Structure formats: C-alpha cells, structure tokens
Amino acid sequence: MLAVKEAQKMGQYDPILATSLNNIGMLYFYLSKYKQAEPLLKQALAIDEKSLTSENPNIACDLNNIGELYVKQGKYVEAETLFNRALAIDEKAFGLNDPTVARDLNNLGDLYVKQVSSINENPFGLNNANGNTRLNKCKKLYESLNKIRQAESLFRQALAINEKALSLNNPTVATNLNNLGELYVKQCKYVEAESLFNRALAIDKKAFGSNNPTVARDLNNLGLLYDNQDKYKQAESLYKQAIAIDEKAFGSDNPILDGFLNNLALLYDRQDKYKQAESLYKRAIAIDEKAFGFDNPDLAGRLNSLGSLYDRHDKFKQAESLYKRAIAIDEKAFGSDNPVLAGYLSSLGDLYSRHGNYSEAEPFYKRALAIYEKTFGPDNPSYVVIGLKNYARLLRKLNKVSEAESLETRANKILDQFQQNKNTKLL
C-alpha cells in the first residue's frame, strides 16, 4: 500500500491516487480476492469522476474494471450498464474504429455470452430433466436467444476494427478470433469455430513461437472444440500440449495451469477414466489452494467437479464433504443468492435424493429454485424450468403429489409460452 500512501500526499481526489487504487484493486481481482478489490476499484472511479470530465477515457477504464469484477460476481445487469457507459465514452473520445472501442465491444460480447451460458457447459450444475444429448441441449438453448446474436455482432465488430487498425496478423486479432470461435462452439458451429481457432493459432505461432503460453491457450481452445464433438483423442492430445507448454514456461504448480488441467480432467471424467480424472482434479485443487488460499472462489467449481466424480462412483461421504465446501466458499465470496451457488446446492440435493435422504434434499432444491427465479425471472425456460422439474420429482418421492403437480404444471406453462413466443418471432 506504499504507492497509495504516496499518492494520497497529492490530495484526496488526485488522479494518481485513483491509478494506484486501480492497480491494487486489479491485483486483488487477479488473485480472485473480489471483496478486497471492489471498494478499491469503486474508490478509484469516484476520484476520477470528481477530478476528471465525465467523458475522460480514464473513467471508461475504471468502469471496465468494475464491470469485469461484476461479471465474476454474476452481477450481469450492473456490469452491462458499466460496459455500455465505457463504450459510449471511448467511442466519443477515439472514434468508432479504434482498438480501445474494440476492447469495449469484446467486454460486452463476453458478458452476453456469460448471461446465457450454454446448458451443455452446465455452468450452474443443473441436471437436465429431459435427458437430451449435449448437442440437442446446445441447439435448443441458442436457436432463438437474442443476446447470443448480440454477442456475435459485437465480436465481429471488434474483429473488423482490429483487423483494419492493427493488421490481419496481430496477436490482438488472434484474441478476437478466439472469442468469436468460442461463441461458435457454444452454438455448435464447429466448422466455423475450427477455422477461426486455426487462424488464431497460426498468428500466435508466428508472433511468439510454438512454445509460448499464448499458443497454449489456442491449443486448449482447439481441444475444447474437439471435446465438444466427442473427438476425445484429438482433444486429449491438444490439452496435453497446452499443459506441457505452460509447465515449461511457469513450472508445474503455477495457477495458470488450472484451467487446462481441469479441462483434461473433465475429458477423462466423461470417458469414465476415474483415476486419471481424480488425479487431475486433485492437482488443480492443490495448485489453487497453494496459490490463492483455501477460500478462493475459483476453488468451488473444482471442488464441485471432484464431488460429482465421487458422487457417480458412490463415494457418498467424499462427495458430500466437497459439495458442502463448494457451497461455503461460493456463499462467502458472492453472497447467498448467486446462480452458481444454486448449482452447488442442486448438486448436494441430488446426492441426498439419490441416497434416499429426501427430507435432507428438499431445502437445497427449494433454495436453488428460489435463486434461479430471482436471478433469471420466474418464467425462465431453462434454469427455472429445470429447477421446477427437479424439485417436483423430489416432492413425488416425499408423497407430496399435489405440490409436485403444481410445479410441473407451472414448468409446462413456461415452456409452452416460450415455444409460442419463439414461433411468433419466426413468422
């Protein structure tokens, strides 16, 4: 905090102080210490708003930083407001075709993707009540969602700006290509995604060499593409290449490895390669714990994944312990009503239900449904409907038939209305 103390000598509302607060806040952000980051980033914004004009690009930078924090916290509405405000400032300051504007467009696009996270990625731990294949779930969710079309448009605009301003082979263009490619994977547009990923890989190899961590990111994206198509051998090879590059660059226990290790673990998990998956999950968890502490919010997802592995192999106690720990970490970090927490609550409810502990399961299903309704609205056709059907199945096991029927009727009405709206838009 020495930099802050020195900056404070310049005055309570000096922009240098705001810069110092921003830097420290973003350090906490990258360390996943979101509660510590938030007041610092907000104080930086308040200082800049008081000391600078309302259209100063420094304020746009502050807004983007807080917006990124809100995205991590699942505060999507608040993040969208900040990103749009930042975009308006930068467009006026730099014009419509500046790379700074492209950055803002990417931020908005990424937000929209996260708002409608695909069921095939199962970000909130939901079970699919209808037993559809991953491909069908993916198609059904994305066919008519306006925010995905918005995200694609934003990513395309950002790509076009940077191709013109920076050249076709600039590494920033590779990042834009990856963003658009990841969106296409979520839409099951695999041919288009592969073309973009391969182009990004070629740009980064030329710019950085074949053993650079940026190339590892590109290989990981290609691995995810093949993974989504159940091309496990190709995906496994690419994940392993990405891990090897980062191990060589950063060491074997650097947290930058976590995502790649987790992807490979999930791949093995889907193939019922229990030992390999367990080993990688544990390694990723150990790295996170060593780097960020035992209450790091990013740990919750990894704990939930390992718990799910144990759950499916009838290791009740291990699964229960991990689910409870994931819930405690996420609730402490993000509060008691965030949608990711709802997924972890559902996981624990599922565990109790499968083992016949129906009364223990009920409060977790009930609480998860309430969170989904608050987050997505009472008529959401994906998360709320699945939450209603999961809870209804449990109520039937508890012989609460009338309550179960009421939830099932409500779920069907939501789906019928969603289908009618969809058909109307297609006319």
Across 233-242, 288-297, 311-320, least confident range: 288-297
Mean pLDDT of 169-192: 95
The closest of 298, 286, 281, 289 to 334, measured between CA atoms, is 298
| pLDDT interval class at 418 (50, 70, 90) | confident
Residue 141 confidence (pLDDT) above 60 = no
Which ranges of 73-145 would DSSP assign to H, the alpha helix?
76-94, 99-115, 134-142
Residue 423 confidence (pLDDT) above 90 = no
| pLDDT interval class at 425 (50, 70, 90) | low
Contact 42, 26 (CB under 8 A): no
Residue 146, pLDDT score: 77
More confident residue, 87 or 137: 87
What digits encode the pLDDT tens for the residues 64-117?
Answer: 999 999 998 878 889 999 999 999 999 999 999 999 999 999 999 999 988 765
For the chain, give the mean pLDDT. 89
Residue 307, pLDDT score: 97
Neighbour tally for 265: CB within 10 Å: 25
pTM to 2 decimal places = 0.82
Residue 43 confidence (pLDDT) above 80 = yes
Residue 145, pLDDT score: 65
By percentage, how much of the chain surpasses pLDDT 90?
Answer: 76
Residues 6+ apart with CB under 8 A from 384: 369, 372, 373, 376, 377, 378, 411, 414
Residue 32, pLDDT score: 83
3-state helix, strand, coil in the chain (%, to 5): 80, 0, 20
Number of H helices, E strands in the chain: 20, 0
Q: Which amino acid, one-letter code, is at 194?
A: E
| pLDDT interval class at 382 (50, 70, 90) | confident
Residue 165, pLDDT score: 96
How far apart are the C-alpha atoms of 181 and 196, rounded to whole Å? 6
How far apart are the C-alpha atoms of 24 and 356, rounded to whole Å? 49
Residue 420, pLDDT score: 83
Residue 392 confidence (pLDDT) above 60 = yes
Residue 4 confidence (pLDDT) above 80 = no
The closest of 70, 13, 69 to 43, measured between CA atoms, is 13
Residue 138 confidence (pLDDT) above 60 = no
Residue 300 confidence (pLDDT) above 60 = yes
Residue 424, pLDDT score: 64
How far apart are the C-alpha atoms of 331 and 337, rounded to whole Å? 8
Residue 12, pLDDT score: 61
By percentage, how much of the chain surpasses pLDDT 70?
Answer: 89
**111, 117, 122, 125: CA torsion to nearest 10:** 60
How far apart are the C-alpha atoms of 174 and 216, rounded to whole Å? 13
Mean pLDDT of 237-251: 97
Residue 128 confidence (pLDDT) above 50 = no
Ordered structural domains, the chain, with CATH? 1-94 (1.25.40.10), 97-117+134-211 (1.25.40.10), 336-419 (1.25.40.10)
Residue 15, pLDDT score: 81
